[in-house]
Structures are given as structure tokens and as C-alpha cells.
Homo-oligomer: A and B are copies of this chain.
Amino acid sequence: MAAASDTSTTVFRALADPTRRAVLEHLSRAPASVGELAQPFDMALPSFMQHLKVLEASGLVRSRKTGRVRTYRIAPAPLRDAEDWLARQRSVWERRLDQFDAYVTALQEDRP
């Protein structure tokens, strides 16, 4: 199959978990250490760190260790890629749907 490691795949995969999305939301407000990020979650630290690794492998975040503290921060580029993919797809099919609006509406109505 297509090498399951292209950007879209790893980014969407990273986003497909509520814990990881919550981490991103936290980081979108401010950089934070592992401990700060982990604190809201009822999860063993090693388990939580796997999520951080997935996020970092996807390129959505970056980290840096200073002394014994590792600080994470957001990296916007890959997210923009994912968003672009979605926007592109959606624009194509919404143009289509406009043309066939009545037809689609009818279809949706018989699936209540």
C-alpha cells in the first residue's frame, strides 16, 4: 500500500486522538513542559509520552531539552498541509454539490 508515512497520513493520524488534540490545544496557547502537558490527564507518564512522540514524529510539535526539562511547542507547517488537503477536497465537491443540490437534498431526505 502507499507508504503509510506521508505527511497527510501521519498528521491525520496524530490528530485522531483526543489526548493528542488536547495537547495541541494546550500548546497552541503556550509552550509547555512534559509535566505541565501531562498534568490534566489521568494516565501514566510513559503512556502520555508516547502521545508526545507521535505528535513530534508527525512534525506538529517540536521539543527541546534544557536541564532536566523538555519543553514542547507547536510547529504550524504540517497542520497547514492537512488543512490545505481538506480545503482542496471540500472546495471540489462543494462546487459539485452546488450543481446537484436538488438531487443530493432528495437523497439525504430519505435517510432521516
Does chain B have a CB within 8 A of A45?
Answer: no
| Known contacts A1-B41, A1-B43, A13-B13, then 10 further A-B pairs from the complex at CB < 8 Å, ordered by chain A residue | A4-B17, A12-B16, A15-B86, A28-B92, A29-B93, A62-B111, A73-B104, A80-B90, A83-B86, A86-B86
Which B residues touch A2, using CB under 8 A?
18-19, 22
Which B residues touch A76, using CB under 8 A?
90, 93-94, 97
Which B residues touch A86, using CB under 8 A?
15, 79, 82-83, 86
- Chain A residues in the interface with B (C-beta under 8 A): 1-2, 4, 6, 8-9, 12-13, 15-19, 21-22, 24-25, 27-30, 41, 43, 62, 64, 73-76, 79-80, 82-83, 85-87, 89-90, 92-94, 96-97, 104, 107-108, 111
